[in-house]
Structures are given as C-alpha cells and as structure tokens.
Chain A
C-alpha cells in the first residue's frame, strides 16, 4: 500500500513569492492535514480538509490556504512568503473518523 506522498521534496523561493505544495493521501483516506515544523519547534497544525471542505485551521494568517481535490489530494498555498515561513511542511492523512494520522516525508521550504 502506497503511503502519503508529497512534492516537491525541496522548494526555494524568495520573499514575497508564492509557494505551492502538494500531497497525495493514502488510498481510502478522505482527510488530509497540513502541519508546519519550523526549526527546533514541534508540529504546528495548519489546516484540515475532508471530503473537499476545509474543516479546521490552526492559528496561521490567511495567506496560508489550500484546497482538496475530488481525488482527495491536496494543495497548500503560501502567499507573500516571509523569511519565517522557512520550515518543513508535513502532510498527513487519515480516515474520516480515524485518530491515527499517517505522514508524508514533507516538503522543505526555504525562503530567501
């Protein structure tokens, strides 16, 4: 069974640009979660999508947004990039009622 996949592995952008990160969940999972892990910090919850709808979002500004497609894959968009957005962005998936979330390998975003 294929796990959660994320692309790209690394992304380098300059301040003010936009970044788009992609995630494909495990087959059969309808929920997708996005987390930010800044250097030395834990995982900070960003967004939760299920059945194409945004169900919850963490304490992040509106320039962090995303969407979930009919095939349950998801996209995270970060607009007007700031230096402090440099972090590892992790995507996870689960069934709608499952507590266990399964993570992808992450996308390392570097903003210069």
Chain B
C-alpha cells in the first residue's frame, strides 16, 4: 500500500542550478507533509514541512509546493550545492494520527 510515491529514484544537477524533487500521494486525508534529508550512515533529518491549508512554504534555499487537487508536492532547492547531495524522503501524515508514510526516496547528486 504505497500511499506516498517518489517516482524518481535519482536526480543529478549542476551546482548553482535548481533541484526539483517530486512526490505524489493517494490519500486525500493527509493533511501535513514533510521532507527529510538522509546522508549515508545517518538517520533522516527534518528539512521542511507544509500544512494542507497552505500551498507554499519557504525556508532559505528550500521551498515546498503543495498541489492538493493533483495530490502532488515538490521540493525546490535553489541554488543547489554539493553538500545537498543526499537521499530526500517525502512524508505525509494524518492530523493527530502520528502515522507518517514515507516515499521510497530520491537520491540527489549535485555536481561541482
């Protein structure tokens, strides 16, 4: 039951350019969405989140966009830096449920 999908297993971009990571979900009851970043041999670290009542949330170089009608969210990183190279997980949660569903992850490589 893959309720959260990241269809691109990998993405490669040049340093300084924009990275766009995509995520789709199937359960319209999800009301909170998060992005996590994971380096090898470390646990995922929280990056940015968005509530379903918003369509955009920005934090420095990171912006998350939510399109509820399409059940789609994306993470934009501008400008991309080599240190951003990691696996990015999209996650979705139900209000007060604490049952978070994760996508399979997208490996981002930023080339110098």
Q: Is B57 an interface residue (CB 8 A)?
A: no
Q: How many A-B residue pairs have CB under 8 A?
A: 58
Whether B46 lies near A105 (C-beta < 8 A) is no
Whether B99 lies near A59 (C-beta < 8 A) is no
**Chain A: interface residue count, which band?**
20 to 34
Whether A94 lies near B89 (C-beta < 8 A) is no
Of the candidates B42, B44, B49, B89, the one having the most CB atoms from chain A within 10 angstroms of its own CB is: B44
A94 to chain B: which residues have CB within 8 Å? 98
Whether B32 lies near A103 (C-beta < 8 A) is no
CB contact list, B2-24 vs A, under 8 A? 4, 6
Residues of B whose CB lies within 8 Å of any CB of A are 1, 4, 6, 32, 34, 36, 41-46, 49, 89, 91, 93, 96-105
